[in-house]
């Protein structure tokens, strides 16, 4: 009895930092293994080996999660506190070295020990050191790492599936809701004013962009409908493809009627790793299509299976004669891994050819767009749950794993489309394609009939050079550099200031020289300069937002001013 009690106490200590329901599940599994060991016949070391196996299984799980250096049930306030501690620890690491190269190398080693990736090689030494001693940088990294660790543990313990926590664990769902609540509270209480003395809350400004789910969904459907219009006019073929990961990447297998059973082939792949696998397959599809002279345009949507493993939907258009070859390429590369497993040929790459007589391409994909954004006009998802509710879980899943849900394939760049909306009027004499694109992107009210003309993605794509224009689009975003220096002592990246294109210069009185010369047309967009007049606070129970230059950087600067040899040589200037 004493031995059993000791084992229980030891196991309880191992899981002390886990969420309560996880503790019960882990301890229950451990004690079940111990009970099974007790039933073994004595002798030949079987009982001892079983005890050791049970202990090793528990240590493997808890040890992997202990590397996170944060309790799995840590609050956001805990993350922020730990971020400040790590920033100070990184600064202490810098004090023991005497060259800037050694300082950076020492800090990078410390960052990796905390399960984060240090700044990349392209970042200057000064910028890298500034980041690794910045609590804001640590906070962002710790949040992402902690979220993935929590969700990865939930998947490993079997919580994420259709019979328990659909798409994402309840812990990650609660974390995402808290984050949304915190951000909403801050944005609603932050007031901004521009140079025209127009004052809005940050929430009101955010609601005017694609962060607004209704606007995001509307823009996606506008672009899809525009591609469809071009496909119909050009008599192109439409394909709807669904590609999934190999069986070994799925933790659970559906058995019908809502039942699931654990997949014994599961190799521990996380949703993020599965997303990277799909991306690697598609990265081989694209050049293969190019080699065959097959141009495609459309959209890709990523969404989760019930156990969190992603799968992709493609709505693609191409010349009718290329449809079969395109499907062959997709099958070749998405079935290269484990092609002979049961059901691979049927389920791993599904193809449906769009019949224009039966319905529109937008109709094929509308429900996938809606249920991955806000669930509007979709009653239930694939598993019979209200789409309005499950869309929140899908969004939490994408946020946790850093998965891009929607991606345009081919066509003209959407960045120029959005920038053109900032251009109020076209200058006199502007090239026709620039005027056509500007007219297409804006939703305007007709002068004669009073009807509203919707934005025309098809017209915009044609003005840019067509669906296969690629990087050769006629109109591009113009950028300008302010010459400012950012918080880490690096030059601020150039910012958009309008659009630019190439046109033919015409002279007054309609006289055009024999050799017309090309000029660059630059059209400025309207961009307001905003200032904070009232800084918001986060929702009750959460830590306040970080403002200004962080304390760690300020401390380093003070130390450098006092002791030039702080980092050896002439010191490291962090501005």
Q: How many helices (H) and strands (E) does the chain have?
A: 18, 15
Q: What is the mean pLDDT of residues 303-313?
A: 95
Measure the N-to-C terminal CA separation of the chain; round to a whole number of Å.
64
Choose, from 167, 277, 368, 488, the residue flagged as catalytic: 368
Report DSSP letters for 96-112, one per residue: T-SSHHHHHHHHHHHHH
**pLDDT of res. 111:** 95
| 368 has catalytic annotation | yes
Choose, from 364, 383, 460, 488, the residue flagged as catalytic: 364
Q: What is the mean pLDDT of residues 526-531?
A: 80
Higher pLDDT, 391 or 65: 391
Residue 389 pLDDT more than 70?
A: yes
> Cα angle vertex 102, ends 96, 107, to 5°?
75
Distance CA 461, CA 455 (A): 12
Instruction: Work out the percent of the chain whose per-residue pLDDT is above 90.
Output: 42
Residue 511 pLDDT more than 80?
A: no
Nearest to 403 by CA among 309, 534, 516, 290: 309
Q: Given pLDDT bands bounded at 50, 70 and 90, which one contains residue 390? A: confident
Q: What is the mean pLDDT of residues 78-87?
A: 91
Residue 443 pLDDT more than 80?
A: no
* Other Cβ atoms closer than 10 A to 316: 25
Q: What is the pLDDT of residues 20-38, one digit of tens each?
A: 888 888 888 888 878 877 7
Please compute Rg for the chain using Cα positions.
29
Three-class HEC string of 76-99? HHHHHHHHHHHHHHHHHHHHCCCC
Burial of residue 255, with CB atoms counted within 10 A of its CB: 0-12 exposed, 13-18 middle, 19 or more buried: exposed
Q: What is the pLDDT of residues 97-132, one digit of tens each?
A: 888 999 999 999 999 999 899 999 999 999 999 999
**pLDDT of res. 453:** 67
| Distant-in-sequence, close-in-space partners of 156: CB < 8 Å, separation ≥ 6 | 61, 251, 268
Q: What is the pLDDT of residues 473-482, one digit of tens each?
A: 999 999 988 8
User: For 491, left (φ over 0), alpha (ψ -120 to 50), or beta?
Assistant: beta
Q: Which CATH architecture has domain 213-409?
A: 2-Layer Sandwich (3.30)
**What ranges in 428-529 are assigned the alpha helix state H?**
432-441, 457-464
| 333 has catalytic annotation | no
Domain ranges of the chain: 2-66, 213-409, 414-524
Residue 541 pLDDT more than 50?
A: no
| Distant-in-sequence, close-in-space partners of 66: CB < 8 Å, separation ≥ 6 | none
Higher pLDDT, 133 or 555: 133
Q: Given pLDDT bands bounded at 50, 70 and 90, which one contains residue 572? A: very low
User: For 115, left (φ over 0), alpha (ψ -120 to 50), or beta?
Assistant: left
Q: What is the mean pLDDT of residues 361-385?
A: 74
């Amino acid at each position: 009895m004493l031995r059993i009690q000791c084992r229980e106490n030891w196991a309880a200590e191992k899981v002390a930092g886990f969420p309560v329901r996880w503790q019960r599940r882990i301890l229950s599994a451990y004690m079940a293994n111990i009970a099974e060991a007790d039933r073994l016949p004595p002798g030949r070391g079987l009982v001892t080996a079983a005890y050791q196996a049970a202990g090793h299984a528990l240590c493997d799980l808890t040890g992997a999660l202990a590397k996170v250096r944060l309790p799995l049930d840590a609050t956001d306030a805990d993350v922020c506190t730990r971020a400040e501690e790590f920033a100070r620890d990184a600064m202490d690491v810098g004090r023991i070295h005497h060259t800037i190269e050694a300082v950076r190398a020492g800090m990078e080693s410390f960052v990796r020990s905390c399960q984060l990736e240090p700044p990349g090689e392209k970042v200057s030494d000064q910028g890298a050191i500034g980041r690794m001693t910045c609590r804001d940088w640590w906070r962002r990294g710790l949040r992402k790492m902690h979220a993935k660790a929590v969700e990865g543990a939930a998947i490993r313990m079997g919580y994420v599936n259709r019979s328990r926590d659909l798409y994402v664990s309840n812990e990650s769902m609660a974390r995402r809701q808290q984050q949304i609540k915190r951000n909403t509270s801050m944005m609603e209480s932050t007031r901004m004013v521009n140079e025209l003395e127009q004052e809005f809350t940050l929430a009101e400004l955010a609601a005017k962009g694609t962060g607004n789910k209704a606007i995001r969904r509307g823009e996606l459907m506008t672009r899809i409908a525009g591609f469809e219009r071009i496909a119909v006019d050009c008599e192109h073929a439409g394909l709807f493809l669904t590609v999934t990961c190999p069986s070994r990447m799925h933790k659970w297998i559906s058995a019908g009627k809502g039942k699931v059973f654990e997949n014994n082939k599961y190799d521990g792949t996380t949703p993020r790793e599965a997303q990277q696998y799909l991306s690697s397959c598609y990265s081989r599809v694209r050049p293969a299509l190019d080699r065959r002279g097959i141009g495609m345009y459309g959209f890709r949507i990523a969404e989760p299976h019930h156990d969190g493993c992603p799968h992709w939907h493609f709505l693609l258009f191409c010349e009718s004669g290329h449809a079969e070859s395109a499907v062959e390429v997709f099958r070749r590369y998405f079935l290269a891994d484990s092609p002979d497993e049961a059901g691979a040929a049927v389920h791993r790459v599904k193809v449906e050819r769009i019949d224009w007589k039966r319905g529109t391409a937008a109709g094929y994909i509308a429900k996938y767009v809606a249920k991955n954004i806000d669930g509007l006009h979709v009653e239930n998802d694939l598993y019979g749950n209200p789409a309005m509710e499950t869309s929140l879980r899908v969004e939490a899943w994408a946020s946790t794993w850093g998965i891009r849900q929607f991606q345009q394939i081919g066509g003209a760049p959407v960045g120029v489309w959005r920038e053109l909306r900032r251009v109020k009027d076209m200058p006199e004499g502007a090239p026709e394609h620039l005027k056509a694109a500007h007219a297409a992107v804006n939703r305007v009210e007709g002068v004669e009939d009073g009807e509203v003309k919707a934005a025309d993605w098809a017209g915009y794509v044609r003005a840019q050079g067509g669906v296969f224009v690629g990087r050769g689009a006629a109109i591009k975003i113009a950028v300008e550099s302010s010459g400012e220096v950012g918080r880490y002592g690096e030059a601020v990246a150039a910012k958009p200031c309008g659009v630019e294109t190439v046109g033919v210069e015409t002279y007054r009185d309609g006289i055009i020289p024999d050799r017309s010369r090309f000029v660059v047309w630059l059209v400025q967009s309207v961009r307001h300069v905003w200032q904070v007049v009232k800084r918001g606070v986060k929702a009750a129970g959460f830590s306040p937002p970080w403002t200004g230059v962080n304390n760690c950087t300020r401390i380093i600067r003070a130390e450098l001013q006092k002791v030039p040899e702080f980092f050896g040589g002439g010191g490291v200037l962090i501005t």
